[in-house]
Chain A
């Protein structure tokens, strides 16, 4: 069965960086884009960007340009989301989600809570 399993919660200081992983199984890793979406406490969903596990190509929301990196390791079917220069308003649950072409995000990871606090 399709699964996306994310790394555990993180606590980081303002100005630091965080790297969250998302390990895929149950499907051909290189055939589906992976998106990252975040959700601040009590708030709605915010799309951050996508990565093509096949090519490594990425596309980010404008507000994250310069702070966000997405990479992948095809040998272990894992994508990574790296957010730098953290601020308190980056405190959120971060989700990875599989993109079924033309149908949106059909499978989601369990989420990773990133807390930014001094």
Chain B
């Protein structure tokens, strides 16, 4: 199975500042036939189901604010939240969907400092 390692486990960021979350996969999730990384980011607020923010490592899902951005390729990925807002308090998960079983990182809790 592909192991997804997220860091940090939690971080506290001041309103308006940047939050950066890292995710490393134990093997490449780059699909060579279309040159897409099969890596997604999800946001989960307390008591709610996950919401997809990013797919293909860097493509924002429709309706997701542009302060959320994803980057990286093959095994190393980053989710950046620019100008953190109060409504961004949540746990964020990376997921690879390159191969079954799909696997998730353990999550990063983002709080307001």
Q: Give the B-binding residues of A (Cβ under 8 A).
A: 35, 37, 44-47, 50, 59, 61-62, 95, 97, 99-100, 102-106, 108-111
Inter-subunit contact A47/B49 (CB<8 Å) = no
Q: Which single residue of chain B is at the shortest CB-CB distance from A50?
A: B100
Counting residue pairs across A and B whose Cβ atoms lie within 8 Å, the total is 61
Inter-subunit contact A62/B101 (CB<8 Å) = yes
B45 at interface by CB-CB < 8 Å: no
- Nearest-neighbour CB distance to chain B for A32, whole angstroms, equals 14
Candidates A35, A44, A99, A100; contact of B106 at CB < 8 Å = A44
Q: Which single residue of chain A is at the shortest CB-CB distance from B107?
A: A44
A50 to B99, CA, bound (A): 12
Q: Give the A-binding residues of B (Cβ under 8 A).
A: 31, 34, 36, 38, 40, 42, 44, 49-52, 55-56, 59, 61, 93, 95, 97, 100-107
Inter-subunit contact B50/A95 (CB<8 Å) = yes
In addition to A45-B44, A45-B104, 11 A-B residue pairs with Cβ atoms within 8 Å of each other are A44-B107, A47-B101, A47-B102, A50-B100, A59-B100, A104-B40, A104-B55, A105-B52, A105-B97, A106-B52, A110-B49
Cβ-closest 6 pairs across A and B: A104-B40, A108-B49, A103-B55, A47-B102, A45-B104, A61-B101
- Nearest-neighbour CB distance to chain B for A106, whole angstroms, equals 5
Inter-subunit contact B36/A104 (CB<8 Å) = no
Tell me which residues across on chain A come within 8 A of B34, comparing CB atoms: 102
A103/B49 contact (C-beta < 8 A), A44-B104, A44-B107, A45-B104 known? no
